[in-house]
Amino acid sequence: MTVNLTPDVRVGLLGGPSSNLFDGLASEPVDVLVLDTSHPVTDPLTDWVLKPTDLLFARFRGLLKSGAVDPIVVLYLDPAAPSPNHDWPIAEAAFASLQAVVQSLAIEHPRTRATTVRARRDQEEAVRDLVAFLASPAGGYVSVTTIDLRSAA
Amino acid sequence: MKLLVTGGSHGIGRAIVLQALAAGHEVLAHGRDEAALAELAEAGARTLAGDLLNTEVLARVGSAAEEIGVDSVVASQGVAGDGALNTLTPERIRRVMEVNTASVIRLYDVLKPGLRQRAATFVLIASQASLRPEKYDAAYCASKWAVLQWVQALAALEAHHGVRVRAICPGRTTTALFDDAMAGFAAAAGMPLDAYTEMILELIPLRRFASVEETAGATLFLAEHGPRPTVLAETGGEVPYFTSP
């Protein structure tokens, strides 16, 4: 897992492998932080909950210190298909932790637009469209909310 | 019941130990404060001291629980996590997550075989901070949201094995941890503590904080065998709780 903590990089990894999904996201005027749980890990408590929470706080701190005004999107990716080996309780804990950080820090820091998005790993088009919407003027009043694309049709 | 209470030295955990003993239950009280545990031992509890972040202590808790035949657990360990973002060090954030979230999950993993064998109950003390975002409380919220969602997901899975996993989300309960957190919130808000307290009471429909005995009693209600909700919000109305279809 590689993470770039410099504020000017538009896509940062909180956990999981890099992907060309992010290429499309990086061109939008929005900061996207991604936790991808679609690949198995040996220690989901550490790799999905503890480390990404640490990194998310660090990224927020960096973005806020840089005076970033672009919206922040925290993107949580589930596996494309249900798997019996996926630790669902810990996955839910991971998602909840990210949501809590995003929402709590957004209300603590006025005028910070921050949103959590949840999607399956194979929903690339839906993710790109949503991120573009959140980066656009039409998405300007969307903040402190979670958007779940898994049931999007 | 044969009840294990982790984080039982002080606060809500201690009150649970004492109420459970008074009700005639057998209690194994875990905590970090040996002097406080000694008082609980005098009241009739078996005790075990140590830090749950230490894997050897975790193993000893597991062994002791198995030896007694624990059929109900209350995980009451927790640390405050209040503070504005610019005051939260990475070390503190990690500690809050380790104690409030990871140690509960690891505790369950250690106890799981015995809990399944005895169709036990496992109750986590979450928080009203599990139910909403809070400014100046992001680290604590992260830890409590995580552990509440873990309970809700786990409850569905473990029900097949006969284990009932539940969570109570207490509101503002008068304990030392609460007093410290209120002082921290007041400081972060730049207000004197008494003015901050008055402001907070206005947000609570019941216009008071919970007593530790009330929260302990509500927790023991969830810990009992018999049909109980998976999540019980005990917030005095400050944080409404509802479920979506």
* Segment A56-61 mean pLDDT: 92
Torsion of CA B220, B221, B225, B231, to 10 degrees: -100
Which H, E and C letters describe chain A, residue by residue?
Answer: CCCCCCCCCCEEEEECCCCCHHHHHHCCCCEEEEEECCCCCCCHHHHHHHHHHHHHHHHHHHHHHCCCCCCEEEEEEECCCCCCCCCHHHHHHHHHHHHHHHHHHHHHCCCCCEEEEEEECCCHHHHHHHHHHHHCHHHCCCCCEEEECCCCC
- Distance (Å, rounded) from C-alpha B173 to C-alpha B33? 21
Choose among A110, A82, A89, A94: nearest CA to A34.
Answer: A94
Q: Distance between CA B40 and CA B43 in Å, rounded?
A: 5
Distance of alpha carbon B137 from alpha carbon B125, whole angstroms: 17
pLDDT tens per residue across span B87-104 = 999 999 999 999 999 999
Give pLDDT tens digits for A78-135. Answer: 998 888 888 999 999 999 999 999 999 999 988 889 999 999 999 988 998 898 888 8
Percent of chain B predicted with pLDDT > 70: 100
Residue A151 to chain B, least CA–CA distance (Å): 15
Inspect the interface and report whether the beta carbons of A107 and B133 lie closer than 8 Å. yes
Record the tokens describing residue B10, joined without a space: 């002080």
**Chain-centroid distance, C-alpha B149:** 14
Judged by CB atoms closer than 8 Å, whether chains meet at A97 and B153 is answered as no
- For an interface test with B, which of A3, A14, A108 has the most B Cβ atoms less than 10 Å from its Cβ? A108
Look at residue A26 in the predicted model and tell me its pLDDT. Answer: 67
Contact, B2 vs B68, CB < 8 A? yes
Pairing type for strands A114-120 and A145-148 reads: parallel
Of B90, B150, B153, the CB nearest to A54: B90
User: What's residue B245's pLDDT?
Assistant: 66
Which chain A residues are within 8 Å of B101, Cβ to Cβ? Answer: 49, 93, 97
Handedness of CA B40, B41, B46, B50 (dihedral sign): positive
* Most B-contacting residue of A35, A49, A85, A115 (CB-CB within 10 A), to test interface: A49
CB neighbour list of residue A96: distance below 8 Å, 6 or more residues apart: B145, B146, B148, B149, B150
Residue A107 contacts B where some CB pair is shorter than 8 Å: yes
> What's the whole-number mean pLDDT along residues B215-239?
93
User: How is residue B82 annotated by DSSP?
Assistant: -
Closest CA to B179 of B1, B10, B8: B10
pLDDT above 60: residue B109: yes
Are residues B138 and A97, on separate chains, in Cβ contact within 8 Å?
no
d(CA B159, CA B163): 5
Write b or e for each residue in B209-218: b if 16 or more Cβ atoms lie within 10 A of its Cβ, otherwise e.
Answer: bbebebbbeb
Interface predicted TM-score of the whole assembly (ipTM), two decimals: 0.85
pLDDT in tens, B132-178: 999 999 999 999 999 999 999 999 999 999 999 999 999 999 998 88
Confidence of residue A63 (pLDDT cuts 50, 70, 90): confident
- The answer to whether B85 contacts A61, with C-beta atoms less than 8 Å apart, is yes
How far, in Å, CA of A81 to CA of A49, rounded? 21
Which pLDDT does position A140 carry in this prediction? 87
- Contact of A9 with chain B, judged by CB distance below 8 Å, is answered with no
Phi then psi dihedrals of residue B197, to 5 deg: -60, -45
8 A C-beta contact, residue A75 and residue A21 = no
In this structure, what token pair is assigned to residue B135? 């400014």
Catalytic site residues of B? 140
Of B7, B16, B4, B31, which is closest to residue B214 (Cα–Cα)?
B16
The reply to whether residue B105 touches residue A93, judged by beta carbons under 8 angstroms, is: yes
Residues A52 and A16: their CA atoms lie apart, in Å, by 10
In degrees and rounded to multiples of 5, residue A76 shows phi and psi of -110, 125
Place of tokens 């875990």: B30
A99 → closest Cβ in B85, B97, B145: B145
Query: What is the model's pLDDT at position A2?
Result: 37
Residue A89 sits at the chain B interface (C-beta within 8 Å): yes
